[in-house]
Structure 1
Amino acid sequence: MSQQLQDGFGRRFHYLRLSITDVCNFRCSYCLPDGYRPEGKSKFLSFDELQRVMTAFASLGTEKIRITGGEPTMRRDFLDIVKAAAATPGIKTVATTTNGYRLSQNAQQWRDAGLTQINISVDSLDPRQFYQITGENKLDSIIQGIDAALAAGFERIKLNAVLLKDLNHDQLPHFINWIKRRPIDIRFIELMETGLGKSYFEKHHISGDVLKQQLLELGWTLDPREKTAGPADNYSHPEYQGRIGLIMPYSDDFCATCNRLRVSAKGQLHLCLFTEHGIDLRDLLQDDLQQPQLIQRLENALQTKKATHDLHSGVTGVRQHLASIGG
């Protein structure tokens, strides 16, 4: 048995993004502008099935698991899933990405359960603009949740902001000022085209290079990348406690450092966020005795992973919206 998941290009995969639900209670304009609409009766992976996924990946060198959605905290067993991930041998980091609507009441409990990193989607620090983008008037409570997470001992909280031309692309000074005395990373994510979003993409896409140049002119410098880090290029400044990250999937070398794989809430392995199809794992998640076959399928699948996505050619994959695969 291999001790590392490695593809045909020598890339090793230490990071699993594990979706546990497609459901989300926000209506973000770039993802679910009409709100979540279920397609028939959803049958998301059960707790036992999720455990088997985590065990298999950990046995192949995965060190970090990010629990995603939809909005992952909408699952009633979210806390149990965090505990199971933290208890999986070989897993060193348990993270989640959330819209933060339950954060203020649960930050300490999640931290105690073994959650080590938390990313919170905050597309604007202006309440009116936040509502315009997300469809929810909850910025104040989310800021309270961020304060609760800091108090609970999360050392490096990350905020995700989708970079949107004519909506929030000019908010960099506001975000920079906000993190001067807060140990928080703000990560601006370039808008990515999905199946339902071509016109929205054409209207609101702007390159992260615009912010990169602003940061360099202001004296921010690029940090070294860690082995299990996500796709962001992080910039630091000696006068600021926080950092600024840029995620630019349209940059020429974006896929060169790929280190993460995705499993959807319905049990499909996705080798790329913009893959045309998933590889079904669920038939091998029904019994612990199927672990050898599951591991073999994962290893075989990695040999079919392409060198890069095809976003530059307008190929966005089958994803109609990012909530269906966990981003």
Structure 2
Amino acid sequence: MLARRPGSATQRAVRMNAVQALSEHHDPARAVGQLEAERRAGNLVDGFGRRFYYLRLSVTEVCNFRCSYCLPDGFLKTAPLSFLGIEEIARLTRAFALLGVAKVRLTGGEPTVRGDIGEIIARVAATPGIDKVAMTTNGWNLHRHVAAWRAAGLTNLNISIDDLDAATFAAITGHDRLDQVVAGLDAALALGMRAVKVNAVLLKASVPESFDRFAAFVKARPIAVRFIELMRTGDNVDYFAANHVSGAVLKAWLEARGWSARPRAFDDGPAIEYEHPDYVGRIGLIAPYGAGFCDSCNRLRVTARGKLRLCLFGEGGVDLRDLLTDDQPGAVVARVTAALVGKSAGHRLHEGHSGDTRHLAQLGG
């Protein structure tokens, strides 16, 4: 069910026109005050009544893994690596926080290939209004740095582990690092993160053996493992045809073994998580091909080059970077809220249309 709209469309338009007018007339103090009022009203809302509390911010397109479903030939540089700098990221985060975004997820590519990722975490965490700072990583150097990232302000962590069989993991990722990644996960748990989750792409060849392996893995670990349906992108058409399997297979497997769905928090991602009285951890499903998947969308994306993406599988984007050379949150918010008018009801994956997304590393998934 879609979230209820806070006020009529006319009322919201009047408020946002006021915000834009303040920013255009260069009255930063009044603009920020108005924006703070909008933040308290939770007014980052699209034309379908969906409210946005969650920003997925890519900090790089570079990835050092060669996952078969994403970058089987590794990262190929096709343009200068002119990604957002720390000050640009801090200004962008402040603007989104003023409109009620309370959760920021740092993604890539692989965000930890940036040597300044610890400082990025610290700047995002220091932003007034930001309550959760999350990161999605392949875990390649997690065991060495997770304590420092936690101290910098990281609260939530997602780790990509596509299989717990070492040979299968290496075949999928191109790296024999499963033991190191799991060691990093266990180190994160010991540091008292609010939440540690595992992402695993659902692949036909590993069903149902991977379900058994991950169920045993969460038996005594307080984590959530979320299987993600393989999504078709511009670069993986043949791979998708050979390896896609419906998330209904996992749902049936869980229900047959006594797992039951748990309620979602307001700022959760799209996963439906299942729990079982005999297991400490949970198993979840992210099913973008399922009915109504986009109805509860609550996140926006900004690319590593500063473009707002309203949908992972959309086209183009709205450039925000020109507004980040100095601190002008009113202008950023005005542009973001104006762009939300054009957000569509849902993606077109069912039609075989993945927009201009070539691979998931391009936008952070």
TM-score (ref. length: structure 1): 0.98
Q: Are 1:263 and 1:269, in contact at CA under 8 Å, matched by a contact in 2? A: yes
Give per-residue Cα distances to partners, 1:258-286, cap 9 Å, x unaligned: 00000000000000000111111111111
Unmatched tracts of structure 1, length 5 or more: none
Equivalence map 1:162-241=2 (5 Å): 162-167=201-206, 169-241=208-280
Other-structure match for 1:106:
145
Q: Are 1:9 and 1:307, in contact at CA under 8 Å, matched by a contact in 2? A: yes
Q: Are 1:163 and 1:169, in contact at CA under 8 Å, matched by a contact in 2? A: no
Cα separation, 1, equivalents of 2:143 and 2:303: 27
Q: Are 1:123 and 1:168, in contact at CA under 8 Å, matched by a contact in 2? A: no
Cα separation, 2, equivalents of 1:266 and 1:320: 16
Other-structure match for 2:359:
321
Other-structure match for 1:28:
67
Cα separation, 1, equivalents of 2:263 and 2:356: 33
Other-structure match for 1:295:
333
- Residue type of the partner of 1:78? I
Decide which of 132, 142, 154 is 1:115's aligned counterpart: 154
Cα separation, 2, equivalents of 1:73 and 1:260: 22
Q: Are positions 1:135 and 2:174 aligned together?
A: yes
C-alpha deviation, 1:167, in angstroms: 3.6
C-alpha deviation, 1:228, in angstroms: 0.6
- Residue type of the partner of 2:364? G
C-alpha deviation, 1:108, in angstroms: 1.2
Mark the CA change 1:169 to 1:32 in structure 2 (over 3 Å): closer, same or farther: farther
C-alpha deviation, 1:177, in angstroms: 1.1
The structure with the greater share of residues assigned to helix is 2
Other-structure match for 2:49:
10
Runs of 4+ in 1 over 2 A off after TM superposition: 1-4, 167-170
- Residue type of the partner of 1:97? T
Equivalence map 1:72-111=2 (5 Å): 72-111=111-150
Mark the CA change 1:169 to 1:276 in structure 2 (over 3 Å): closer, same or farther: farther
Cα separation, 1, equivalents of 2:114 and 2:343: 31
Q: Are 1:20 and 1:265, in contact at CA under 8 Å, matched by a contact in 2? A: yes
Count of aligned positions: 326
C-alpha deviation, 1:139, in angstroms: 0.4
Higher alpha-carbon deviation: 35-44 or 121-130: 35-44
Decide which of 285, 296, 301 is 2:324's aligned counterpart: 285
- Residue type of the partner of 1:295? V
Other-structure match for 1:245:
284
SS at match of 1:171: helix
Cα separation, 2, equivalents of 1:86 and 1:242: 27
C-alpha deviation, 1:304, in angstroms: 0.6
Other-structure match for 2:79:
40
Other-structure match for 1:265:
304
Cα separation, 2, equivalents of 1:169 and 1:299: 44
- Residue type of the partner of 1:81? I
C-alpha deviation, 1:192, in angstroms: 0.2
Give per-residue Cα distances to partners, 1:137-161, cap 9 Å, x unaligned: 1001111111111111124210100
Give per-residue Cα distances to partners, 1:18-42, cap 9 Å, x unaligned: 0000011000000000000111321
Cα separation, 1, equivalents of 2:277 and 2:207: 25
Give per-residue Cα distances to partners, 1:5-55, cap 9 Å, x unaligned: 100000000000000000110000000000001113210011111111100
Q: Are 1:262 and 1:269, in contact at CA under 8 Å, matched by a contact in 2? A: yes
SS at match of 1:17: strand
Q: Are 2:155 and 2:195, in contact at CA under 8 Å, matched by a contact in 1? A: no
Cα separation, 2, equivalents of 1:211 and 1:103: 28
- Residue type of the partner of 1:324? Q
Cα separation, 1, equivalents of 2:217 and 2:205: 21
TM-score (ref. length: structure 2): 0.88
Q: Are 1:220 and 1:235, in contact at CA under 8 Å, matched by a contact in 2? A: yes
Unmatched tracts of structure 2, length 5 or more: 1-18, 20-37
Identical-pair percentage? 53
Other-structure match for 2:104:
65
Give per-residue Cα distances to partners, 1:195-220, cap 9 Å, x unaligned: 01110000000011100011011111
